[in-house]
Structure 1
């Protein structure tokens, strides 16, 4: 028998992250939630035991895994999905000159192409339900941060593509929301990938500075607060870009008001590497 309540699928629902908080918020609102993760064992037990949650294995970088999840959801819902939340993603902390190309491609496969393939696979179900797609992007997609070029590029791609998908899918009755996410107190910084540096990297002299991260996310809000803000926007019929999370009011104002040179100074204040790198380069030049 098909599920007769609203449905929501969330990718990247490992414990302690934004995905599990989103799944909890939609569950509590009465949706039937498909909480997905590459490793279902990492999904919180509260989601495993909830009567209106189905936990599914889903790797958004695998076409086979996406197809299997789509088939499972279609069988349970009768071919409809009200909300798709593309949340799965990772960061990468490394200079562009040193980033292995296979790692860069893997990041795009996860953060961008994974979202696109999910939309394609679940598109017919979303159209049938006149549903809503939520893509979790970042303010980092609007402002360059040193040593986050690949991550920021994936988020910038998701922003511009999400806005195009919004226009393309509106005539089909599907809304697209692009989250410009600010600070959230998750394990994101602790989970940043940092591949090995080449032996002749120009940046070895500041490697410690690059890899150093703040003890906590600046302006971070709790994932639960973030998730309920997103839920409200889905419920009220929002479409397009939505700024959400810690510090977004400041970021939005700064991006509107300040010239790029001032924004660069703000970024470099957080990673004041320029002088040391220039000095070390002169010694070896």
Structure 2
């Protein structure tokens, strides 16, 4: 007679994770993703700004405009020239650093002018409406009708090549764009209940604008300004590349790309280095703008 089989109790399967734990894990993952989308571009921009503006104050860099022809076309990581030299023997890293200063100076100046002038026009048009809105909107529409680069080329050609003229030429592009954005944001806020209550309480128009409208459209302006800053940096480089922007031998990323055409087949890194710097800067600005828009949109 066969021996009876032992009584074996099968282990029950593991219970499924509690919904609360799954949700908590998902929330932590989402928060980490949002934090990375925000702080990675911030870190990249801080690093670029530190290299362009702080490094020359700490380290003595070679001249970005003059060099020794004997040491021309040195490859990257040559002694004393971390990124090599160009056809004139000028240090590439110095040109990159000081060219970054020019890019941010022009970009921030154009963005600031656009916010002050275009933002003021947009808020005034959106709040007062009527004939004021019609006149300002038509002026902004006329400026927006022209292609930005073509209009900047015409203005830069008429004024002559210089950093100040590039700033004003590109500001003609920035003012109407910011004006349309702020006008739309003001129209959205103007019909909200707290705005109606402020008008019924007899609050003056300019006080409503400064106390209620401007603080509420700041997130929109900041987000758009970051995106606009990247576009302005690209346009500044395009003007330099075409010979209508920063005059040579002043270093700029656009001038470096233009000069690198002469040795593109021999030393392509001279074109790639400023192009990569331009790409990283603009990408970081766009990522930061998108991250801020996402974060402020959830509040």
TM-score band, normalised by shorter chain: under 0.3
For the pair shown, the structure with the greater C-alpha radius of gyration is 2
What TM-score, normalized to structure 2? 0.25
Question: Taking CA–CA contacts closer than 8 Å with sequence separation of 6 or more, which of the two structures ends up with the larger relative contact order?
Answer: 2
What TM-score, normalized to structure 1? 0.26
